[in-house]
Copies of this chain bind each other. A is one copy, B any other.
Amino acid sequence: MRARTATVKCNVNLTITVDGYSAGTDQTEDRPFGHDGGDGTGDRLHAWMFDTPEENRAEIEELAAPSAFIMGRNMFGPVRGDWDRPWNGWWGDDPPFHGPVFVLTHHAREPQPMRGGTTYHFVTDGIESALAQAREAAEGGDVGVLGGATTANQYLAAGLVDELRLHIVPFTLGAGTRLFDGVPPLRLEQLTSRAATGVTHVTYRVLP
């Protein structure tokens, strides 16, 4: 794996409740975020994106700014076990990534090209491999770890994250998948912190 440098970063970018959850329990196809305090579509978690996009333009653009992406299979979709039915992500034919997306999974699958430059690659040999592949594909650009918490926590625990971009929203869930769960203590540096309506955006540098 390439050395981490100031110019090529691995960023985690997540919306969390003030008690640290990025999704509720019991994810299904009808309820992609599980019991998320809203209708299961992440409507309350992501109200800041959908209700007030102008106010949060910079943070929304930052989400899509990396040149390659990593996500867990549960963020990718509701299929569990074998790939026993067609599933190409929640984001339609022309997903908002416009670049390579490395999906961590225990279930091998051929790469899935989409429109607009997105290709889903399925990685079965672990987080370091996914990051190495994403760095290679990013060709000098940043790598964005988009979630869910299970995936973000593995990268944090392994010391592979440069920056943590959190969007802290005003409710608690008390159950679900939680950022930092099982992650050893981290030293962080608060780089930026900005309030918008119903959300606080905080960026941390992860210190060695």
- Residues of A at the B interface (CB closer than 8 Å) are 18-20, 37, 166, 168, 170-174, 179-180, 182-190, 192-195, 197-200, 202, 204
Quick check: A202 and B200 within 8 Å, CB to CB?
Answer: yes
Is the pair A189, B173 in contact by a Cβ cutoff of 8 Å?
A: no
The answer for the CA separation of A166 and B17 in the assembled complex, in Å, is 14
Instruction: State how many angstroms separate the Cβ of A52 from the closest Cβ of chain B.
Output: 12
Decide if A180 touches B174 in the complex (CB within 8 Å).
yes
Cβ A183 vs Cβ B174 within 8 A = yes
Q: Can you identify 25 A-B contacts, CB atoms within 8 angstroms?
A: A18-B188, A18-B204, A19-B20, A19-B180, A37-B185, A168-B168, A170-B187, A170-B189, A170-B204, A171-B186, A171-B187, A172-B185, A172-B186, A173-B185, A174-B180, A174-B183, A174-B184, A190-B195, A190-B197, A190-B200, A193-B195, A193-B200, A194-B195, A195-B195, A200-B202
Copy number in the complex reads 2
For A179, the closest partner residue in chain B by CB is: B19
Chain B residue nearest in CB terms to A202: B200
Expressed in whole angstroms, the Cα–Cα distance for A184 and B175 within the complex equals 9
**Bound Cα distance from A74 to B182, whole angstroms:** 26
- Give 8 nearest A-B pairs by CB, closest first: A193-B195, A170-B188, A19-B180, A170-B190, A193-B200, A172-B186, A174-B185, A172-B180
Q: A189-B198, A190-B197, A190-B199 are in contact. List 19 more A-B contacts (CB 8 A).
A: A18-B166, A18-B180, A18-B188, A18-B202, A19-B183, A37-B185, A168-B202, A170-B188, A170-B189, A171-B188, A172-B183, A172-B185, A172-B186, A190-B195, A193-B193, A193-B195, A193-B200, A194-B195, A200-B202
